């Protein structure tokens, strides 16, 4: 694949917590603006890749070490990076492992092929700047409130000697939030490794298609307790011509969101899609959204619209 792509991923969160900080509250800036980390949306895409059977390196997996001689013996704990590498590729990286072998294995992992990697184990220190770069996703909905729910556990806290009743916990959610992430795809980021790694021909269309599918369904498929109300509600993909030298800014800042009869995703400020000089650089534009709860305004003539769930074109 040679074309660069720019776009936006939109995720709704209704009575859920898309991305919490270490206090359990929705992540926010010092000014109080709620946002989601790029790590949150990457995790949802990585989990989707893992679920469909692709190799995913940066994904938590566990071991029970029966050979440990300390208090860790027999306890479940996360694998370290080299152990995860061995799980996927059959052996750990040692001092005699060649960098070519490491790079070849890394590029065979779908998440590395898209998002890059910082891989520092043994005598190997590999840093790959990913083809896909995702910015922080800010909440566009002004009516967001944080809800704190008390939860009664069926068990008492055994660490408290005087605990005679079931313990209480808390669940922290947003009543409603809508996160919009800008992203870019630059296949040339991996051109330096063509010829260095046996059989490697650069970023592939297949890798992009898997990223694209994860960007459309990853949040919806991530059905954990705190994510049960989160789903993909919007995505914009602007693919440039292969020979294009145009570079586009983060596009989320030009998108507004508000409630009407349906949720309105307002692209009125996306004026660059009306600029003739920029239009000449664009190969195609695709918009995916949830037509059951939302509408996209205004109509962008050069864009094809699709149902984000069925992938059927909306005429």
Query: What is the pTM assigned to this prediction?
Result: 0.92
Confidence of residue 193 (pLDDT cuts 50, 70, 90): very high
Q: Which two tokens stand for residue 292?
A: 């059951």
Please name the residue ranges forming H helices in 96-195. Answer: 99-107, 110-115
State the CB neighbour count (10 A cutoff) for residue 125. 10
222-229 contacts: CB < 8 A, separation 24 or more?
222/43, 222/44, 222/47, 222/48, 225/171, 226/16, 226/17, 226/20, 226/171, 226/173, 227/16, 227/17, 227/18, 228/16, 229/13, 229/14, 229/15, 229/16, 229/173
**Span 125-149, pLDDT tens digits:** 999 999 999 999 999 999 999 999 8
Report percent pLDDT > 70 for the chain: 96
Mean pLDDT, rounded, for 247-272: 95
**Span 216-245, pLDDT tens digits:** 999 999 877 668 899 999 999 999 999 999
Three-state SS at 29: coil
Mean pLDDT, rounded, for 151-176: 75
pLDDT averaged over every residue in the chain: 93
In this prediction, residue 315 carries a pLDDT of 87
In this prediction, residue 74 carries a pLDDT of 84
Mean pLDDT, rounded, for 294-314: 95
In this prediction, residue 122 carries a pLDDT of 81
- Please, are residues 303 and 286 in contact by the beta-carbon 8 Å criterion? yes
**Span 25-50, pLDDT tens digits:** 999 999 999 999 999 999 999 999 99
- Please, are residues 154 and 141 in contact by the beta-carbon 8 Å criterion? no
Confidence of residue 68 (pLDDT cuts 50, 70, 90): confident
Mean pLDDT, rounded, for 71-87: 90
Residue 164: pLDDT over 90: no
Distance CA(151)–CA(166), nearest Å, equals 10
Confidence of residue 152 (pLDDT cuts 50, 70, 90): confident
- Please, are residues 236 and 286 in contact by the beta-carbon 8 Å criterion? yes
Residue 162: pLDDT over 60: no
Residue 260: pLDDT over 90: no
Residue 160: pLDDT over 90: no
**Structural domain boundaries of the chain?**
5-314
In this prediction, residue 256 carries a pLDDT of 97
- Of 70-74, 88-92, 153-157, 163-167, least confident by mean pLDDT is 163-167
């Amino acid at each position: 694949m040679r074309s660069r792509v720019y776009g936006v991923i939109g995720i709704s969160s209704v009575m859920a917590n898309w991305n919490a900080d270490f206090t359990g509250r929705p992540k926010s800036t010092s000014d109080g603006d709620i946002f989601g980390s790029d790590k949150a949306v990457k995790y949802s895409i990585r989990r989707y890749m893992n679920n469909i059977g692709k190799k995913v390196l940066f994904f938590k997996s566990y071991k029970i070490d029966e050979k440990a001689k300390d208090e860790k013996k027999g306890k479940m704990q996360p694998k370290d990076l080299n152990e995860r590498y061995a799980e996927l590729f059959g052996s750990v990286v040692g001092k005699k492992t060649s960098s070519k072998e490491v790079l070849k294995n890394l590029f065979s992992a779908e998440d590395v092929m898209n998002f890059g990697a910082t891989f520092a184990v043994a005598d190997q220190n590999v840093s790959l700047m990913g083809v896909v770069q995702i910015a922080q996703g800010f909440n566009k909905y002004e009516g967001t409130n944080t809800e704190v729910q008390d939860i009664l556990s069926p068990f008492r806290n055994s660490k408290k000697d005087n605990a005679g009743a079931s313990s209480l916990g808390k669940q922290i959610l947003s009543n409603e939030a809508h996160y919009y992430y800008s992203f870019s795809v630059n296949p040339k980021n991996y051109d330096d490794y063509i010829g260095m790694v046996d059989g490697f021909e650069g970023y592939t269309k297949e890798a992009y298609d898997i990223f694209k599918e994860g960007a459309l369904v990853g949040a919806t498929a991530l059905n954990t307790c705190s994510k049960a109300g989160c789903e993909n509600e919007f995505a914009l993909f602007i693919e440039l011509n292969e020979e294009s030298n145009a570079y586009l800014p983060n596009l989320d800042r030009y998108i507004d969101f508000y409630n009407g009869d349906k949720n309105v995703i307002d692209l009125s400020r996306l004026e660059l899609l009306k600029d003739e000089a920029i239009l000449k650089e664009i190969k195609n534009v695709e918009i995916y959204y949830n037509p059951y709860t939302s509408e996209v305004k205004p109509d962008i003539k050069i864009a094809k619209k699709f149902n984000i769930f069925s992938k059927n074109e909306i005429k």
